[in-house]
């Protein structure tokens, strides 16, 4: 739901729109439109889950609070993007950090005090909203940012421009979380929680891999624009080697220390899920490669190719996970997850290879 609220590639387009082709009022109008869509889809999904999956009222309200937290974050993101565009990324980062720490700290203190999740989350959300109002009161005059959105046709043109990247972003996060959703449908809350615990290394690998290749994207784009395709190939191969090495290290660490550390961290005995966790670590490495290939194809201006691959995997996820997990449990789900990540990565590798082979002929 957060990916819908942040509307995919709008932040990237906003930051790089230095001409500019769109005003901040148009970016704000586009963000308000996607926030309304996020609210509608969140409520619709929870109603569906209540009727079909037996969600309790307590679970629905907790999820609404968490969606509201994501809504606040997506609203802040458009202002942070404008700060970054003006050369003050630190301002937006400070807003994000202060709000996030406030939410987590208040939630933790309240949870320890009252021992009930819902009052703790509601109080934390109220504190985060209050802090956000105070931060915007200071930041908007400092950065000369107006709160008046535009709601004209230019906003629709902006949303249409970002639609392929928005679909890709949503599909990527759905594919990443699809096993968890299927476990929620066919197993109990305990199984879903345990899956979330053992899946933690997956997101750690994907996050760390982003730190590794994101700083080199500018040089990659320059080599691509200057038609130095040999350097482009070498950069891609080097990143694959680095990601493979990172995955091997993570797998070794997970084999030796993963279950004891996770069991201690979450106060749950996860020993019976060791095999599933090791498969998930491999899937995390392939997921990092998949995300990197998507970034490469984006730099090559092939968003539709990425969208086709992701949508194909998303459709397979919708139809395959539920029967597989019902028949083979969590292990069946993680093996399917690994398989889908491999298929999408191979598809993207073929697209990159074909694109690079065609470019010299086109240039000549």
Tens-digit pLDDT profile for the chain (364 aa)? 888 888 766 776 777 676 777 888 889 988 998 999 999 999 999 999 899 888 899 999 999 999 999 999 999 999 988 888 887 888 988 999 999 999 999 999 999 999 999 999 999 999 999 999 999 999 999 888 888 888 788 888 888 877 887 888 888 888 888 888 888 888 888 888 888 888 887 777 777 776 676 666 667 767 777 778 888 888 889 889 988 988 898 899 889 988 999 899 888 888 888 999 999 999 989 998 998 888 888 777 787 888 899 999 999 999 999 999 999 988 999 999 999 999 999 999 999 998 888 776 554 4
Coil, strand or helix: which one is 134? helix
Contact by Cβ (8 Å): 79, 139: yes
Coil, strand or helix: which one is 20? coil
- How many CA atoms within 13 Å lie on the side-chain side of 253? 13
Which H/E stretch holds residue 192?
A: helix 189-198
Tokens 């230019």, residue? 154
> Measuring CA to CA, how many Å separate 164 from each of 122, 134, 189, 302?
35, 35, 34, 10
How crowded is residue 275: how many other Cβ atoms within 10 Å of its Cβ?
A: 12
Amino acid 201: pLDDT: 79
Q: For residues 232 and 221, what is the distance between their CA atoms, to the nearest angstrom?
A: 9
Amino acid 115: pLDDT: 93
**What pTM, to 2 d.p., does this model score?**
0.71
> Omega of the bond prior to 244 within 30 degrees of 0, cis?
no
Sign of the CA dihedral running 182, 183, 188, 193:
negative
Coil, strand or helix: which one is 270? coil
DSSP 139-199: HHHHHT-------SHHHHHHHHHHHHHHHHHHHHHHHHHHHHHHHHHHS-HHHHHHHHHHT
Amino acid 348: pLDDT: 94
Rounded to a whole number of angstroms, the CA Rg of the chain reads 22
Amino acid 210: pLDDT: 66
Q: For residues 229 and 226, what is the distance between their CA atoms, to the nearest angstrom?
A: 8
- Name residues whose C-beta falls within 8 Å of residue 278's C-beta, 6 or more positions apart in sequence: 251, 254, 255, 258
Q: Which H, E and C letters describe 61-118, residue by residue?
A: HHHHHHHHHHHHHHHHHHHHHHHHHCCCHHHHHHHHHHHHHHHHHHHHHHHHHHCCHH
How crowded is residue 327: how many other Cβ atoms within 10 Å of its Cβ?
A: 9
């Amino acid at each position: 739901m957060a990916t819908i609220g942040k509307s995919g590639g709008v932040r990237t387009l906003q930051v790089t729109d230095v001409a500019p082709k769109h005003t901040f009022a148009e970016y704000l109008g586009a963000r308000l439109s996607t926030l309304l869509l996020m609210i509608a889809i969140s409520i619709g999904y929870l109603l569906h889950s209540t009727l079909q999956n037996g969600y309790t009222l307590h679970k629905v309200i907790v999820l609404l609070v968490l969606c509201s937290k994501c809504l606040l974050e997506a609203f802040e993101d458009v202002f942070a993007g404008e700060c970054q565009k003006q050369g003050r990324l630190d301002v937006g980062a400070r807003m994000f950090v202060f709000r996030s720490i406030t939410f987590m700290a208040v939630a933790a203190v309240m949870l320890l005090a009252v021992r009930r999740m819902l009052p703790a989350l509601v109080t934390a959300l109220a504190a985060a909203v209050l802090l956000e109002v105070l931060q915007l009161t200071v930041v908007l005059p400092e950065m000369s940012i107006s709160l008046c959105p535009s709601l004209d046709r230019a906003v629709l043109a902006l949303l249409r421009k970002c639609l392929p990247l928005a679909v890709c972003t949503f599909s990527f996060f759905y594919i990443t979380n699809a096993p968890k959703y299927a476990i929620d449908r066919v197993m109990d809350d305990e199984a879903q929680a345990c899956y979330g615990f053992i899946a933690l290394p997956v997101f750690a690998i994907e996050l760390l891999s982003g730190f590794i290749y994101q700083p080199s994207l500018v040089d990659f784009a320059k080599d691509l624009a200057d038609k130095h395709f040999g350097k482009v190939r070498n950069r891609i191969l080097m990143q694959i080697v680095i990601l493979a090495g990172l995955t091997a290290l993570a797998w070794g660490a997970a084999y030796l220390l993963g279950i004891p550390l996770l069991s201690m961290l979450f106060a749950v005995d996860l020993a019976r899920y060791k095999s599933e966790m090791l498969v998930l670590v491999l899937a995390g490495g392939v997921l990092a490669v998949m995300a990197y290939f998507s970034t490469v194809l984006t730099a090559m201006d092939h968003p539709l190719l990425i969208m086709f691959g992701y949508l194909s995997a998303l459709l397979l996820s919708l139809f395959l996970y539920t029967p597989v997990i019902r028949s083979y449990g969590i292990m069946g789900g993680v093996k399917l997850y690994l398989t889908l990540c491999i298929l999408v990565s191979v598809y993207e590798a073929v697209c990159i290879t074909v694109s690079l082979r065609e470019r010299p002929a086109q240039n000549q």
